[in-house]
A and B are shown apart, each in its own frame.
Chain A
Amino acid sequence: MGDLLAGLTEAFRMIVTLDAELIEITLRSLRVTLTALAISCLVGLPLGGWLAVRRFRLRRAVIATMNALIGLPPVVVGLVVYLFLSRSGPLGVLGLLFTPTAMIVAQIIIITPLVASIAYQAMRDLWSDYHDLLISMNATRGQRIVTLLIDARRALLTAALAGFGRAIGEVGAIMIVGGNIDGATRVLTTAIALETGRGDFALALGLGIILIALALIVSWGSHWAMRTERQGTW
């Protein structure tokens, strides 16, 4: 109980005093995760739309595989990305290991299946409504996907938020490929792991509370911006 109270106090203190290190690692967490999320959405949302409108032989297998990849263990993704980016690995010449870019790459791999899968679910249902209309208008496949993306945008927001949630709270992969370097690749989750290891539970919990608050703010902010769940705008 004492640790929980101390954690709340610590979180409050860091926020009120605008702790410089806290701001730095919070901004880095946001930068890494939002970049990964943007790229995942660029890939995952159109992929979901394409899977919704297109019928081909391996479609079920592709969708089942995509759903299974949602459960990719982050620590394995981290290890594989590490082996690729290591100086003695195939992409070692790029020198990306222990940089925020490496963390972004790992997070993209982790969340793209999740984003694509939720996007697909949303647009599949919409497609069954729109199918006859779009076919009769002789819309091209690209136009069909764009229509679905626009009209399913609120459900796609859920896909993006799910991806954001998984990425911002992830620690296993980015610890391996980022290295938790102070001032270079330390983010909220790796800092929490570090402080837990040092037995400083108050600071760790304080950082955790800030991380949760951040996820809430992003979710509220995006719902507000998309005007979801308001009267008359279902």
Chain B
Amino acid sequence: MIRALLMSALFLSAGSASAETMKLAVTTSFENSGLADILLPQIAADTGIDIELIVVGTGQALRLGEAGDVDAVLVHSKAAEEAFVAAGNATHRREIMYNDFVIIGPGDDPAGIAQAGDATEALARIATAQAPFVSRGDDSGTHKAELALWNAAGIPTEGDWYRPVGAGMGAALNTAVGMGAYVLSDRASWLKFGNKDGMSILFEGDPAMFNQYAYLPVNPARYDHIKAGAAARLEDWLVSERAEVLINGYRVADEQLFTFNAER
């Protein structure tokens, strides 16, 4: 009995001492894409860092970084990221990769956005048709990108047809599917989404809908406990050739989701 207890105590202590852990706040779109499941085991094998993912919207991810509750963030909203660095919350911003946004809608496409020439025209057609449009409405990177597109199109986001749900990508997609509405989603989340129910990608490919992901290590001068060493090693790995191969090679339904574009 005593021996069994000792053995289990030894086992437990060995287990906890094996790897360094760090906390990384990432966006729901990154987690939902499934890329994390490919990258994290390889990161653990190459660097010995066990990454604990906190999956939230970009807005909350940056708040967690500001409060020192995570060691780094991986998000996609350039203006908010630059403000974050300017406020001294992160030492710098490093672009890693991009994917793109697509507009999802019901198969019969009541607003006819599939024939639109660019994103501005597609949104204008939705607004003109007063077709229901689901917005994330949660201050996430996708929400900010959507607002920037409406802004560029010069269309006010108000009216019965415009429905902010204040939820993550998956919940917003579920809502849009439920009411047959248009919705802006990152391509990865949509391809991995299991409840498509007659909805499909109706508009894609406008460069204005590219979605740049960047890595921001939290400023260690702000808090003593920030694991700056692990965060730096993770950054080195994320821009490495091995990461490039894994990111560019990741496919869902035979489509490449992410394009690596970090500068070394």
Contact = CB atoms under 8 A, between A and B. Distances in A.
Contacts of B28: 197
A232 interface: no
Contact of A86 (B23, B67, B174, B195): B67
B52 A98 contact: yes
Interface stretch (A108-116, A137-145, A176-184, A213-221): A176-184
B52 A88 contact: no
A179 B223 CA distance: 20
A128 interface: no
B69 A199 contact: no
Given A181-B23, A184-B52, A196-B174, 8 more contacts: A87-B225, A92-B68, A98-B69, A197-B32, A199-B174, A199-B194, A199-B196, A201-B195
A5 B69 CA distance: 41
B53 A182 contact: yes
B69 A97 contact: yes
Interface centre among A95, A183, A202 (most CB of B within 10 A): A183
DSSP majority for the B interface?
mixed
B170 A197 contact: yes
Nearest to B223: A87
Interface string B122-140: 0000000000000000000
Contact of A199 (B54, B193, B225): B193
Interface string B46-68: 00000011110000000000111
A194 B195 CA distance: 14
A200 B195 CA distance: 7
A87 B194 contact: no
Interface of B: 23, 28, 32, 52-55, 66-69, 168-171, 173-174, 192-196, 223, 225
B191 to A, nearest CB: 11
B60 to A, nearest CB: 9
7 contacts: A87-B69, A88-B68, A181-B23, A181-B52, A196-B174, A197-B28, A199-B196
The interface size bin for chain A is 20 to 34
A5 to B, nearest CB: 15
B53 A98 contact: no
Contacts, number: 61
Given A98-B23, A197-B28, A198-B32, A181 B53 contact: yes
Given A86-B67, A95-B225, A98-B69, A181 B194 contact: no
A15 to B, nearest CB: 21
Interface in A61-103: 86-89, 92, 95, 97-98
Given A87-B69, A87-B223, A181-B52, A200 B171 contact: no
Contacts of A88: 66-69
B168 A197 contact: yes
A201 B225 CA distance: 39
A222 B168 CA distance: 39
A198 B68 contact: no
A196 B67 contact: no
A87 B192 CA distance: 34
B253 to A, nearest CB: 14
Interface in A166-184: 179-184
A197 B194 CA distance: 9
B67 A198 contact: no
Contacts of A200: 194-195
A183 B168 CA distance: 22
Contacts of B193: 198-199
A224 to B, nearest CB: 28
Contacts of A98: 23, 52, 54, 69
A197 B66 CA distance: 26
A153 B255 CA distance: 61
B138 to A, nearest CB: 12
Contact of A196 (B66, B68, B170): B170
Nearest to A204: B194
A162 B225 CA distance: 39
A182 B55 CA distance: 10
A194 B169 CA distance: 11
A198 B192 contact: yes
Nearest to B25: A179
